[in-house]
Chain A
Amino acid sequence: MAYEPPVTDYDEIVENGTCAFCGCNCDDLDFLVKDGHVVGVRHACRLGASKVMEDMDQRLLVPMIRDENGELQEVDWDTALDKAAELIANAVRPIFYGWSETSIETMKHGIRLGELVGAVLDNQATICHGPSLQAVQNVGYPVATLGEIKNRADMIVYTGSNPMNSHPRHLSRYSTFPRGWFRQRGRFDRTLVTMDPKYSDTAKMSDIWIGFEQNGDYGFYNAIRAALRGKEIDQDFVSGIPKEDIMELAEAMKNVQFGALYFGLGLTHTLSKQRNIDMAIEMLADLNKYTKWVLTPMRGHFNVNGFNIFMAYEMGFPYGVDFCRGYPRYMNGETNTIDLLTRKECDVFMVIAADPGAHYPGGAVKHLAEIPVIQVDIHWGPSTEIADVVLPGSFIGVECAGTSYRMDGVPIHMKKAVDKPETCRDDEWIIRELHERVQKIKAEEAAVASK
């Protein structure tokens, strides 16, 4: 990593800006602005800073429609919006996917559009923490805000998560290093544990590393729970961990003052998926008989939690909500994006601030290539390559204000720092326009039908 001198050439500083990268949603950023661009970011991690500063890299600037030769051609906004509206209005099994990198204000128009046409609304949880949500639905959700952990926790456990790479400021701003009310010495007052088959960067700096074997999560947590209940472990090794270590760990977890467990996709995406979390949550409830423990999923995108919260307060279900029958329906494996794509049911796909082209399994992407795709985003990406209509949006938290929910559910109003490129539009405006245009088409259809 080469030395980079500090940025000194800027016109103004916008303080208390929010980071639109990971679920930490850090809100202490200083944006250094010159000529209407953010040229430097203070306090952010490298992931966050580069996202903010490289906002013009491969930036989508103008609306486009794919022509009959398969090339994306620049068009005016009206043409692009009308084309998208027509596709949506005529769809039989439309999916509106993404939302985790846009604002709640945008979602408000999205759900109205979804209700109007009978679409499936889904977000990245469907490929990330969906199993966590399913586990939460089965056995509970004992969480706390990040500040509770900062102020109280003397044991921090990361399992199936490597925040040093994925959420770089999680340890430094919230969990491990900061001095808290009851942890005045910061890192020295806490025990850091990483449970992960991989000796990750987070494991390297931990006090304890438990390297259970891949797909062994469920059996491992089951054994800890058995030990907590006082059972002498029968097997010499459970999931590759010696029984003595399990007994010792169970005892240590019982004897902290306040423990916090953070889990990531390493837990949600191994063999027994949601049941790993299910078991971990129940383990945590067990531990609360002895002392205080809380957990929090390490949510990836800055507003992935926001979509789940938004859908739940609007319609009672967190993601994968299907309006096709005129009422909300939530059924894992039936009303989720990946299932609908791999089953080749979806006939029009709108992606808002997400990149399924990069993230989806092959079968799902293959179907996307065969159906009309509408993309609302700020950057050119794999999804642009399969898009038929491209609607360039704006960058929430930098070019446009909006509400988001941090991984622990703390709501943050992300303010605007600079103006968006003149030819782009705010996501909120784009989705509202689509809603209004589809409403018009539907009204015309109804008028024709009644004659």
Chain B
Amino acid sequence: MEYILKNGIVYDPANNIAGEKKDVMFKDGKIVEQVSSDAKVLDVTDKIVMPAGVDPHAHIAGPKLVVGRIYRPEDSRKGVTSKKGVCRSESGFSIPSCPATGYRYSRMGYGTVTEAAVPPLEAKHTHEEIMAIPNVDVTPLPLFGNNWFVLQWAKEGKIDEIAAFVASWLRIVKGYGIKIVNPCGTEAWGWGGNVHGIDDPVPYFDVTAREVVRALAQANEKLGLPHSIHVHPNDLGHPGNYPTTVNTLDCVKDIAKNGSKRNQTIHLTHAQFHSYAGTSWRDVESGAKEVADYINNNKHVTCDIGQVTLDETTTMTADGPMEFDLHELNGLKWANKDIELETGSGIVPFIYSGKAPVPSFQWGVGLELFLRIKDPWQVCLTTDHPNAGPFIRYPRIISWLMSNERRQEMMDNGEVRVWSYKRTGLGTLDREYDFNEIATITRASAAKIYGYQDRGELTPGYNADIAVYDINPNDIDPSKEPAAIEHAFGNAMYTIKDGQILVKDGEVVKVVPSHTIWTDVKGFEEQEKTVMEEVMPTFRRFYTVKFENYQVQDHFTPNPIVTEVQAGK
């Protein structure tokens, strides 16, 4: 089937197209330069056309999510809808059911989402949920930052072993890249403790976050994985944590990049939670300037923000100790899930109310980071869904970024408390994103950061993943019309995935199975074999499942997109 999207205003940052009126053509699921006269014409005159959205960091599938859904029926109830048309029933606000997750991303014009924390032992669970999520392709990132094998090798500086282990484990669990969460801290939580800063050694293993992050970064570049290490640093959410963040970013500065498409060697996730100055919640101040300055001066870093959306949500992270602290703080129900030899996690509901000082402050810090980071290719829009708010609020965040007037109004009329500007630099920043910058931070930069070579651009040969939004960019003043911006980006006029129209006028009209994107490293087989011989005796003694039953069998990824990587190339 051939199509022409006719007369749209195209934003395709990867191809330096910033608001040009032109046609976009696709055939058999791919973008093409030419179509025949039989092509079906979709008239999108003066509408915004972009590549489909790419979300670089969200929690949408897997064991944590399901614990959230099981233990928060009051959240599930909030999003309940009846089955309608091609859609099944939906449920959930902050932790939507799998079908709802797919429909809601699709309605916003998204095509690809990263599931940012996969415990390898339960990877099959994550893949089962990915199978249940329609319409968006999912990139799972397995957790390595507290893995006992990694901790031991990092202590001994055995980078080859770590690289071989990562190569094997990505294949075993069908993962895309290396996720690190509170390195050493989550292992310390195995004993109810935590580590503070990147040089605080974890009990027993006696290794520091600095050593672990560096070792995994070196392994990542040795293999030449498409994505860099993806890091949630230590001390999340603690006043005074920004030096830890900057030190974490800086500790890999000397490691040479080995990946063709991306520029970075470290991706800092949900930077907002890691950019606080001060010493306690009484004297907390924004550290956004310091973190943004570091990012502006260092091209080896990219980040996503984790913007607070001012909603009641569900926090969930592999940072187990942080979640217990949060439970101590707000007294709401605490779930925890520790995974043998690998990781942990915690879950706590949280109410980010604009009427309270701390959420207002966090809201300000997130926006401050967006506005201070100069190069949009170094930043992505996220809410660390559902941690700082549900992903369905992306359109609202876009409206805030495009309108200084709206931000000022919120600060003036009390929608957020004074800490939003008194404790941050937000009040002094009047930058407004344009549509091209929005296109960058919601799709192009994420695609580049992940090294995707088939999406995030409207380049011929790429997947026909396209979003059309019902606004004329030359006719609207986003600064004055934030509600219209939010509505348009929340209800795509078209969402096209692999050349198929999935959404029309904000309604899902077609449901297709998702793909699972994972990385298969080639050319490291000998090292992998050696390392597996070292791993297996320990595996057999200390895991409670057999290796045969640990692996993710092929049928858990019925629609894989395998990124083959030649190690070291």
Check A-B contact in the complex, CB < 8 A.
Answer: yes
Partner of B80 from the list A27, A290, A328, A412 (CB cut-off 8 Å) is A328
Partner of B66 from the list A151, A309, A413 (CB cut-off 8 Å) is A309
Which chain A residues numbered 326 to 364 have a C-beta less than 8 Å away from chain B?
326-330
Partner of B549 from the list A27, A144, A147, A312 (CB cut-off 8 Å) is A27
Q: Which residues of B contact A299 (CB under 8 A)?
A: none
Q: Which residues of B contact A227 (CB under 8 A)?
A: none
Q: Which residues of A contact B129 (CB under 8 A)?
A: 313
Cα distance, A141 to B91, chains bound together (Å): 21
Q: Is the CB of A288 within 8 A of B545?
A: no
Q: Is the CB of A16 within 8 A of B125?
A: no
Q: Is the CB of B546 within 8 A of A309?
A: no
Q: Is the CB of A315 within 8 A of B89?
A: yes
Given known pairs A145-B340, A152-B191, the reply for A133 and B70 (CB within 8 Å) is yes
Q: Does B354 contact A (CB under 8 A)?
A: no
Q: Is the CB of A412 within 8 A of B192?
A: no
Q: Is the CB of B76 within 8 A of A330?
A: yes
A404-430 interface mask toward B, CB cutoff 8 Å, 1 = contact, 0 = none?
010001111100000000000000000
Q: Does B92 contact A (CB under 8 A)?
A: yes
Cα distance, A192 to B233, chains bound together (Å): 38
Q: Does B377 contact A (CB under 8 A)?
A: no
Q: Which residues of B contact A258 (CB under 8 A)?
A: 190-192
Q: Which residues of B contact A152 (CB under 8 A)?
A: 190-191
- The smallest C-beta distance from B185 to any residue of chain A, in angstroms, reads 14
Q: Which residues of A contact B553 (CB under 8 A)?
A: 413
Q: Does A142 contact B (CB under 8 A)?
A: yes
Q: Does A292 contact B (CB under 8 A)?
A: yes
- The smallest C-beta distance from A306 to any residue of chain B, in angstroms, reads 10
B61-75 interface mask toward A, CB cutoff 8 Å, 1 = contact, 0 = none?
101011101111111
Cα distance, A318 to B71, chains bound together (Å): 9
Q: Does A237 contact B (CB under 8 A)?
A: no
Cα distance, A288 to B328, chains bound together (Å): 10
Q: Is the CB of B70 within 8 A of A411?
A: no
Q: Taking each of A115, A140, A174, A285, which has the highest tally of chain B beta carbons within 10 Å of its own beta carbon?
A: A140
Q: Is the CB of A410 within 8 A of B190?
A: no
Q: Which residues of A contact B336 (CB under 8 A)?
A: 140-144, 294
Q: Which residues of A contact B546 (CB under 8 A)?
A: 16, 27-28
Given known pairs A145-B338, A314-B97, A330-B73, the reply for A150 and B333 (CB within 8 Å) is no
Given known pairs A313-B128, A316-B97, the reply for A150 and B340 (CB within 8 Å) is yes
Q: Does A182 contact B (CB under 8 A)?
A: yes
- The smallest C-beta distance from B513 to any residue of chain A, in angstroms, reads 13
Q: Is the CB of B121 within 8 A of A410?
A: yes
Q: Is the CB of B122 within 8 A of A411?
A: yes
Q: Which residue of A lies closest to B119 (CB)?
A: A145
- The smallest C-beta distance from A285 to any residue of chain B, in angstroms, reads 6
Q: Does B337 contact A (CB under 8 A)?
A: yes
Q: Does A450 contact B (CB under 8 A)?
A: no
Q: Which residues of A contact B61 (CB under 8 A)?
A: 313
Q: Does A191 contact B (CB under 8 A)?
A: no
Given known pairs A145-B544, A294-B338, A309-B70, the reply for A139 and B124 (CB within 8 Å) is no
Q: Taking each of B69, B74, B95, which has the highest tally of chain A beta carbons within 10 Å of its own beta carbon?
A: B69
Q: Does A173 contact B (CB under 8 A)?
A: yes
Q: Does A308 contact B (CB under 8 A)?
A: yes
- The smallest C-beta distance from A181 to any residue of chain B, in angstroms, reads 5
Cα distance, A68 to B314, chains bound together (Å): 55
- The smallest C-beta distance from A157 to any residue of chain B, in angstroms, reads 17
Q: Which residues of B contact A412 (CB under 8 A)?
A: 124, 545, 549
Cα distance, A151 to B344, chains bound together (Å): 14
Cα distance, A314 to B66, chains bound together (Å): 10
- The smallest C-beta distance from B386 to any residue of chain A, in angstroms, reads 13
Q: Which residues of B contact A285 (CB under 8 A)?
A: 327, 334
Q: Which residues of B contact A214 (CB under 8 A)?
A: none
Given known pairs A104-B128, A410-B122, the reply for A140 and B71 (CB within 8 Å) is yes
Q: Does B543 contact A (CB under 8 A)?
A: yes
Which chain B residues numbered 80 to 114 have a C-beta less than 8 Å away from chain A?
80-83, 88-89, 91-92, 95-100
Q: Which residues of A contact B338 (CB under 8 A)?
A: 143-145, 148, 294
Q: Does B341 contact A (CB under 8 A)?
A: yes
Cα distance, A133 to B97, chains bound together (Å): 18
Which chain A residues numbered 35 to 90 have a C-beta less than 8 Å away from chain B?
none
Q: Which residues of B contact A411 (CB under 8 A)?
A: 122, 124-125, 128
Q: Which residue of A lies closest to B339 (CB)?
A: A145
Cα distance, A316 to B548, chains bound together (Å): 31
- The smallest C-beta distance from A427 to any residue of chain B, in angstroms, reads 17
Q: Does B324 contact A (CB under 8 A)?
A: yes
Cα distance, A309 to B132, chains bound together (Å): 12
Given known pairs A16-B548, A403-B128, the reply for A139 and B333 (CB within 8 Å) is yes
In this complex, how many residues of chain B approach chain A with their Cβ under 8 Å: the count is 66
Q: Which residues of B contact A317 (CB under 8 A)?
A: 69, 73, 76, 91
Q: Does B39 contact A (CB under 8 A)?
A: no
Q: Taking each of B83, B95, B96, which has the highest tally of chain A beta carbons within 10 Å of its own beta carbon?
A: B83
Q: Which residues of B contact A165 (CB under 8 A)?
A: none
B143-168 interface mask toward A, CB cutoff 8 Å, 1 = contact, 0 = none?
00000100000000000000000000
- The smallest C-beta distance from B186 to any residue of chain A, in angstroms, reads 12
- The smallest C-beta distance from A329 to any residue of chain B, in angstroms, reads 8
Q: Does A146 contact B (CB under 8 A)?
A: yes
- The smallest C-beta distance from A56 to any residue of chain B, in angstroms, reads 26
Cα distance, A146 to B76, chains bound together (Å): 28
- The smallest C-beta distance from A170 to any residue of chain B, in angstroms, reads 11
Q: Which residue of A lies closest to B125 (CB)?
A: A411
Partner of B542 from the list A150, A290, A327, A405 (CB cut-off 8 Å) is A150
Q: Does A255 contact B (CB under 8 A)?
A: no
Cα distance, A316 to B73, chains bound together (Å): 7
Partner of A326 from the list B73, B82, B95, B189 (CB cut-off 8 Å) is B82
Given known pairs A16-B546, A314-B98, the reply for A413 and B76 (CB within 8 Å) is no
- The smallest C-beta distance from A398 to any residue of chain B, in angstroms, reads 15
Q: Is the CB of A147 within 8 A of B89?
A: no
Cα distance, A250 to B212, chains bound together (Å): 38
Cα distance, A152 to B328, chains bound together (Å): 24
Q: Which residues of A contact B192 (CB under 8 A)?
A: 258, 288, 290-292
Cα distance, A320 to B497, chains bound together (Å): 35
Q: Which residues of B contact A262 (CB under 8 A)?
A: none
Q: Does A323 contact B (CB under 8 A)?
A: yes
Q: Does B335 contact A (CB under 8 A)?
A: yes
Q: Which residues of B contact A144 (CB under 8 A)?
A: 336-340, 344
- The smallest C-beta distance from A127 to any residue of chain B, in angstroms, reads 18
Partner of A292 from the list B190, B335, B541 (CB cut-off 8 Å) is B190
Cα distance, A136 to B333, chains bound together (Å): 8
Q: Which residues of A contact B344 (CB under 8 A)?
A: 144
- The smallest C-beta distance from A112 to any residue of chain B, in angstroms, reads 8
Which chain A residues numbered 275 to 300 have a C-beta less than 8 Å away from chain B?
285, 288-292, 294
Q: Which residues of A contact B73 (CB under 8 A)?
A: 137, 316-317, 330
- The smallest C-beta distance from B153 to any residue of chain A, in angstroms, reads 16
Q: Which residues of B contact A292 (CB under 8 A)?
A: 189-192
Cα distance, A182 to B121, chains bound together (Å): 20
Q: Does A264 contact B (CB under 8 A)?
A: no
Q: Is the CB of A151 within 8 A of B542?
A: yes
Cα distance, A27 to B540, chains bound together (Å): 12
Q: Is the CB of A140 within 8 A of B83?
A: no
26 A-B pairs with C-beta separation under 8 A: A137-B71, A137-B74, A139-B334, A145-B121, A145-B340, A146-B544, A147-B542, A152-B191, A173-B544, A179-B541, A258-B190, A285-B334, A288-B192, A291-B191, A294-B336, A309-B125, A316-B69, A316-B76, A316-B77, A316-B100, A317-B91, A323-B89, A325-B82, A327-B82, A327-B89, A403-B124
The 8 closest A-B pairs by CB, nearest first: A147-B340, A316-B76, A316-B91, A292-B192, A144-B338, A140-B333, A142-B336, A141-B335
Additional A-B contacts beyond A181-B148, A316-B97, A413-B556 (20; CB < 8 A): A15-B548, A16-B549, A136-B70, A137-B71, A140-B336, A143-B337, A147-B340, A147-B544, A148-B339, A288-B324, A292-B190, A313-B98, A313-B129, A313-B132, A315-B89, A323-B89, A325-B82, A326-B83, A329-B80, A412-B549
